[in-house]
């Protein structure tokens, strides 16, 4: 809250009441009387204004509007930290020169299938293995994931291939177990504003990957990162996975302009998941290329050795050969933008 | 999954593979060869097809598209239960002839403030008191609610006024405590797809009010109800609170057509919360009237005795006098549509 | 443009350059130096700032953001004219106490069908007959309307029933002919920002009904009204017909909160078309009731004597009996909100 | 319309009525009785079903839903023409191996400014000069373009540099004049469903560039192309320029997945305009790179020698040096995807 616009009907007494309220927060004001409206500028460190104090100004009968200029996030802001955050996961760096590739099936289905996929994506250049042990499913009647068993299989895939594990946390009560098996804790799109879950992963020492909510603004997404960081965990990365629009040709609309926007606003690494955004296999590679060209620090790709038998999202999974072809393209694009992959 | 559209390039062998897959699910097929496309109709109780089986068909290389005709929700469907669900909360019926009014502050701030508000809304005709003890806030630096202390104050307001309590659950770990104090457990918009939380409230015996997610389709919202019902708790009501669009004149866009749409699709009661949708005090009463005219079973209204001191959302809270005026209007509209309020 | 936010990196020289630019527009500035940002308030009649001058400030390298407080529309604003505009069409008043009902088929199909519909809607209380002689159709292969022949039939229906005619203009080259037959010229949703068409109807002396664009903000919609009014024609009314969202249960999402928002911002009459918004017959009456409860000055309803033979939008047309039932409900709701219908 | 879903309540007589109606269109049916619903498959060339006939089926009381499988566009479809359309404009090919760059100011402001910009963009590798002579502006009080004078200046820039001219048509009455000066006629986003304008440019022999409407689906956009093509002009290209979403960090959300989606659905060339989509200078180059990586056949970029003096959209215009740097990046990306620029 930096600018307060008064209603046309506001009196001098109103103006004084607003000024008094601002001064009670330890700040001063600058009054600008226009021909149509009076504007009150707030002087001082407005980033410290509590949301409830701003709301109480907004609720005053003489106030028409309140505008914020200083961003509501602090720790996540590029103003707070100028240099890029580089997150080291078992020696692999996210946010550095190399564009990292996270690959694997949507859900962990069995030991055998996961090992097969892990071997293949490792062979073709992936750095991280992904897979859901807990799956957020629209229907209560659908496969909900293998749970702890799934996490054990993931950990085994890491032991076998050396690739660190990315997996999703849905419930704070599962965090303790997950700390044993996972290397990066994913917060899914549907939980981006599950504030209790965010606070919980703010208190651990493992990196957190926050997927963008289905209709979250970039600012809200950065506030989700701020939630985690406010509790002490600064190893946060953001993952664009498409937003909901009226378009029906793709499952969601991949918002690639979020990549350069985030690069300006924050120092945190930015990952792009084209698989969930487009929802169809043959659209994944072009969007992966575009993500790298736009400046992403990593991409997350669904790969399955037998999509027709996948228990979740087989439709959008690349076959190993398709993944290999995509990796070859990605490497060239990465070089073209001064990175490597 | 009831209709499978094959690609133009699909061969007879492809068609047979699809048919075989369908038969392996215990269903039969009906092939319809058009000049452009072959369509496979699935015959049998398709409501029992698992999501993962449908996905595996979708993932077949010869399949262009898969369409569902039977709704994915069952218990929540009007087909499953023809008569309206009427929920009895301490003797007050939701979903019956009377349009119920739930009123109170956004957050419980103090014993004194809540009692003042409770007395006023009771006096003017509210049937339920609302107030948040746990508040989902965009910023980690904002007031997060009084927690258990807030719930105790709410229970006291109930004891004082006789109005049952509606309050929001954010974390499964708070449910046990909340069972002592609350009468209706609210699932907030941001947790509409927090599936673990939904399963949790599916196992209790108190009514659950599910707010529509910020960008949830009506079908997804009904699936959230299905999650709760699938665990045995059939006392579910739905609360429209505005969806996210490009429009900036209101905080959200209140989707009132959801009311008659839901009345067709489901037997569950439908509540409308105009306060959160519009975000501005002077738009609340017209939208409350419209909600009742559209057929809502209840409305949820924010009321505060001193909005300028509210710790949350004071801008959209009605003053007690405004609430009284709105109640008078609502009563006339309710009569006009054959209800009472 | 009333507030200019400078970048953190802005120098004193930058600030002076901005000030100089503002002064060159005949205005003065008020500088407010915060700890994080410098804000330049613009003093004087900012409503006279040309869009291109504002853009040139916005394009300065030292400027982070430019905010407008004064609304960009003038003639359409409630600030410009405090009293409601009441439009008199052949003695029938739109914007007064009576909620007017405009009814008829989507498209004029034949003389016989239109006369049948006109007689019925007149009998049940409609005040205006609607029907498209020129139809905006998504496909070039669809029925495009009867053209001038359709307008002649409409004029005949008016002569027969006394109801003035509302019909859509799609091309400036048709305006001259249309002036002979129509009483209210409708600008369709897809042409809301067809600025040349708006200027054209700004120069005539017949009332203009502007439908809201499929994804138009309320401000853009008021600017469309401003386009018409800027050329001299102040007899403008606005018609909400649903906006595009992700929801698929209805064709569009009827934004009824636009009604009270418009009532605050503008003096122009507000009409609601629930038929196009919901797209299904059985949702029309509840939304018509809600529209009147929200404060609409009129509603526009599709009615057809034989929807199954309609050449356009039969799915959402009410049968005459359904229309009669809806009219009875509307009358009661109108009374409940101090109007009549 | 290929599949008709009947209501649960549909009788045998209803089924027969539907069948009879389909047969009256010269088609046959295939009935598939499920346990919950009866589905009628339509056999024959359903692409020839008129929209009004489909609507009349939809309007039958026994019909729950009607689904289309065959695309509503024909000439624009990849099924109709397998090979890419390559458009030759004064010897420069759009849709071939080379990624073409269209550059220039938003609006033509003066002879001197345009020549300066044209020389610069030519020097740095642009193939086409763009500039608006008629400008669609939200406000009637803004600069509306130089009109015919602007077109003359554009033609002079072509004569000077050899770059063909792209400019926007807003009114069918301007087409005759524009035929003298322009090489590619642009249909702006706000006129994408100005069907009369589309039919008009369908009858000329110059290429047409259709910008995607602000909230147009890809299918509607292809139907706009179909409108033009249906009148005989097959030299149509499509230009993605961002769609409207709730996100406020960018002016619009550039939907880059539209590029590979269009490449599958249509044979027409696809251009991307990142400047209008992002609305801010420093986001243009990353999105231009991403567009080429995603497979665009061309990009359209706003360039201005003095953005602070631009009469329109200076904020998003690249300076010549920034344009030169972007061109260097684009060339590398183009090579990386097997193209050239």
Q: Which of B257, B278, B295 sits opposite C254 (nearest CB)?
A: B257
For the stretch D10-56, pLDDT in tens is 999 999 999 999 998 888 888 888 777 788 888 888 877 877 788 88
DSSP C252: S
Report chain A's C-alpha Rg in angstroms: 23
A48 pLDDT above the threshold of 80: no
DSSP A257-284: THHHHHHHHBSS-EEE-HHHHH-SHHHH
Q: How far apart are the first and last CA of chain A?
A: 42
Looking at the complex, report in whole angstroms how far the Cα of residue B136 sits from the nearest Cα belonging to chain A.
Answer: 7
Question: ipTM of this predicted complex?
Answer: 0.94
Q: Is A226 left (phi over 0), alpha (psi -120 to 50) or beta?
A: alpha
For the stretch B296-305, pLDDT in tens is 999 999 999 9
A35–C45 C-beta distance less than 8 A: yes
Q: Counting one residue from A and one from B, how many pairs have CB atoms under 8 Å apart?
A: 140
D1 pLDDT above the threshold of 70: no
Residue C1 is predicted with a pLDDT of 66
DSSP C189-206: GGGTT-HHHHHHHTTSSS
Question: Distance (Å, rounded) from C-alpha B30 to C-alpha D3?
Answer: 13
Looking at the complex, report in whole angstroms how far the Cα of residue A146 sits from the nearest Cα belonging to chain D.
Answer: 33
Report chain C's C-alpha Rg in angstroms: 23
A175 pLDDT above the threshold of 80: yes
Question: Distance (Å, rounded) from C-alpha A229 to C-alpha A223?
Answer: 9
A140–B308 C-beta distance less than 8 A: no
Mean per-residue pLDDT, A16-42:
86
B42 pLDDT above the threshold of 90: no
Sheet strand arrangement including D28-33: D28-33, D38-43, D3-6, D63-67
C287–B256 C-beta distance less than 8 A: yes
Of A228, A224, A261, A256, the C-alpha closest to A243 is A256
Residue B158 is predicted with a pLDDT of 98
Pairing outcome for strands B128-130 and A92-94? unpaired
Q: How confident is the model at residue C54 (pLDDT cuts 50, 70, 90)?
A: confident
Tokens representing residue A60 in the block = 């005053």
A47 pLDDT above the threshold of 80: no
Give me the helices (H) in B59-142, please. Answer: 111-123
Looking at the complex, report in whole angstroms how far the Cα of residue B218 sits from the nearest Cα belonging to chain D.
Answer: 17
Q: Could you tell me if A76 and B139 are in contact, meaning their C-beta atoms sit under 8 angstroms apart?
A: no
Q: Which of D35, D42, D245 sits opposite B246 (nearest CB)?
A: D245
Question: Distance (Å, rounded) from C-alpha D273 to C-alpha D252?
Answer: 11
C148 pLDDT above the threshold of 90: yes
pLDDT averaged over every residue in chain B: 94
Q: Which of B37, B44, B65 sits opposite D35 (nearest CB)?
A: B44
Residue D194 is predicted with a pLDDT of 97
B53 pLDDT above the threshold of 90: no
- Give the chain A residue whose CA is nearest to the CA of C71: A36
Share of chain A above pLDDT 70, in %: 100
- Give the chain C residue whose CA is nearest to the CA of A245: C246
For the stretch B178-222, pLDDT in tens is 999 999 999 999 999 999 999 999 999 999 999 999 999 999 999
For the stretch B217-260, pLDDT in tens is 999 999 999 999 999 999 999 999 999 999 999 999 999 999 99
CA distances from B79 to A139, B267, D87 (A): 18, 9, 55
Report chain B's C-alpha Rg in angstroms: 23
B1 pLDDT above the threshold of 70: no
Q: Which of B3, B47, B246 sits opposite D36 (nearest CB)?
A: B47
Looking at the complex, report in whole angstroms how far the Cα of residue D333 sits from the nearest Cα belonging to chain A.
Answer: 6
A45–C36 C-beta distance less than 8 A: yes
Task: Name which of D53, D108, D190 to mutate to probe chain C: the one with the most chain C Cβ atoms within 10 A of its Cβ.
Answer: D190
Q: Counting one residue from C and one from D, how many pairs have CB atoms under 8 Å apart?
A: 139
Give me the helices (H) in chain C, please. Answer: 12-23, 51-58, 111-123, 148-161, 175-181, 195-201, 218-230, 258-265, 274-278, 281-294, 320-336
Q: Counting one residue from B and one from D, how many pairs have CB atoms under 8 Å apart?
A: 77
Measured between beta carbons, the chain B residues lying within 8 angstroms of C265 are 249
Q: Which residues touch D143 (CB under 8 Å, ≥6 apart)?
A: C50, C51, C52, D107, D135, D137, D311, D312
Pairing outcome for strands D165-169 and A38-43? unpaired
pLDDT greater at residue A51 or residue C176:
C176
Q: How confident is the model at residue D297 (pLDDT cuts 50, 70, 90)?
A: very high
A33–C43 C-beta distance less than 8 A: yes
Q: Where are the beta strands (DSSP E) in A49-145?
A: 63-67, 87-89, 92-94, 100-104, 128-130
Measured between beta carbons, the chain A residues lying within 8 angstroms of D250 are 257, 261
Q: Where are the beta strands (DSSP E) in B170-308?
A: 184-187, 208-211, 236-240, 270-272, 298-302
3-state secondary structure of D63: strand
Q: How many CA atoms lie within 13 A of B313 on its CB side?
A: 30
Q: How confident is the model at residue D312 (pLDDT cuts 50, 70, 90)?
A: confident
Task: Name which of C26, C32, C68 to mutate to probe chain A: the one with the most chain A Cβ atoms within 10 A of its Cβ.
Answer: C32
CA distances from C250 to A175, B254, C32, C96, C275 (A): 41, 14, 48, 31, 10
A264–D218 C-beta distance less than 8 A: no
Q: How confident is the model at residue C255 (pLDDT cuts 50, 70, 90)?
A: very high
- Give the chain A residue whose CA is nearest to the CA of C66: A69
Q: How far apart are the first and last CA of chain B?
A: 42
According to the 3-state scheme, what is the secondary structure of D222-261?
Answer: HHHHHHHHHCCCCCEEEEECCECCCCCCCCCECCCCHHHH
A278–D286 C-beta distance less than 8 A: no
Residue D95 phi, psi dihedral angles, 5° rounding = 105, 0
Burial letters for A5-27: b for 16+ Cβ neighbours within 10 Å, e otherwise?
bbeeebeeebbebbbebbeebeb
Q: Which residues touch D152 (CB under 8 Å, ≥6 apart)?
A: D181
Residue B50 is predicted with a pLDDT of 78
C55–D315 C-beta distance less than 8 A: yes
Question: Distance (Å, rounded) from C-alpha B314 to C-alpha B309?
Answer: 7
Mean per-residue pLDDT, D234-255:
97
Of B254, B216, B299, the C-alpha closest to C256 is B254
A140–B231 C-beta distance less than 8 A: yes
Task: Name which of A221, A247, A281 to mutate to probe chain D: the one with the most chain D Cβ atoms within 10 A of its Cβ.
Answer: A247
Q: Chains with ≥3 Cβ pairs under 8 A against D?
A: A, B, C
For the stretch D185-212, pLDDT in tens is 999 999 999 999 999 999 999 999 999 9
Task: Name which of D7, D52, D229 to mutate to probe chain C: the one with the most chain C Cβ atoms within 10 A of its Cβ.
Answer: D52
Looking at the complex, report in whole angstroms how far the Cα of residue D240 sits from the nearest Cα belonging to chain A.
Answer: 13
Q: How confident is the model at residue B43 (pLDDT cuts 50, 70, 90)?
A: confident
D34–B46 C-beta distance less than 8 A: yes
pLDDT averaged over every residue in chain A: 94
A240 class by beta-carbon count within 10 Å (0-12 exposed, 13-18 middle, 19+ buried): buried
Question: Distance (Å, rounded) from C-alpha D304 to C-alpha D285?
Answer: 15
A1 pLDDT above the threshold of 70: no
Q: Could you tell me if B24 and B53 are in contact, meaning their C-beta atoms sit under 8 angstroms apart?
A: no
Residue A278 is predicted with a pLDDT of 95
Of B85, B71, B98, the C-alpha closest to B265 is B71
Share of chain C above pLDDT 90, in %: 76
For the stretch C66-124, pLDDT in tens is 888 778 899 999 999 999 999 999 999 999 999 999 999 999 999 999 999 999 999 99
Looking at the complex, report in whole angstroms how far the Cα of residue B53 sits from the nearest Cα belonging to chain D.
Answer: 19
Please calculate the CA angle C91-C93-C94 and round it to the nearest 5 degrees.
145
Q: Which residues touch D96 (CB under 8 Å, ≥6 apart)?
A: D84, D86, D297
For the stretch A211-245, pLDDT in tens is 999 999 999 999 999 999 999 999 999 999 999 99
Looking at the complex, report in whole angstroms how far the Cα of residue C45 sits from the nearest Cα belonging to chain A.
Answer: 6
């Amino acid at each position: 809250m930096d600018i307060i616009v008064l209603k046309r009907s506001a009196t001098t007494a109103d103006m004084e009441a607003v000024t008094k309220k601002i001064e009670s927060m330890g700040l001063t004001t600058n009054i600008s009387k226009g021909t149509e409206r009076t504007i009150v500028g707030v002087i001082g460190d407005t980033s410290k204004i509590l949301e409830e104090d701003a709301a109480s100004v907004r609720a005053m009968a003489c106030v028409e509007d309140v505008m914020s200029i200083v961003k509501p996030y602090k720790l996540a802001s590029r103003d707070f930290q100028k240099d890029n955050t580089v997150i080291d996961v078992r020696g692999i760096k996210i946010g550095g020169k190399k564009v990292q590739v996270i690959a694997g099936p949507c859900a962990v289905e069995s030991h055998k299938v996961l090992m097969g996929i892990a071997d293949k994506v490792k062979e073709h250049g992936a750095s991280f293995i992904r897979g859901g042990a807990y799956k957020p499913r629209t229907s209560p009647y659908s496969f909900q994931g293998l749970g702890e068993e799934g996490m054990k299989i993931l950990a085994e895939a890491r032991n076998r291939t050396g690739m660190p594990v990315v997996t999703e946390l849905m419930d704070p009560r599962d965090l303790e177990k997950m700390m044993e098996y996972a290397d990066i804790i994913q917060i899914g799109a549907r939980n981006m504003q599950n504030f209790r879950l965010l606070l919980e992963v703010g208190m651990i020492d493992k990196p957190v990957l926050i997927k963008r909510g289905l209709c979250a603004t970039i600012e809200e997404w950065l506030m989700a990162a701020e939630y985690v960081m406010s509790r002490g965990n600064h190893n946060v990365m953001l993952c664009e996975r498409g937003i909901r629009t009226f378009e029906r040709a793709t499952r969601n609309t991949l918002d690639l302009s979020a990549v350069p926007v985030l690069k300006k606003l924050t120092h945190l690494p930015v990952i792009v998941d084209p698989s969930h955004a487009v929802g169809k296999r043959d659209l994944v590679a072009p969007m992966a290329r575009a993500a790298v060209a736009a400046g992403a620090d990593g991409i997350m790709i669904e790969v399955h050795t037998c999509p027709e038998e996948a228990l979740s999202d087989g439709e959008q999974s690349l076959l190993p050969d398709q993944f290999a072809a995509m990796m070859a393209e990605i490497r060239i694009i990465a070089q073209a933008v001064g990175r490597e992959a």
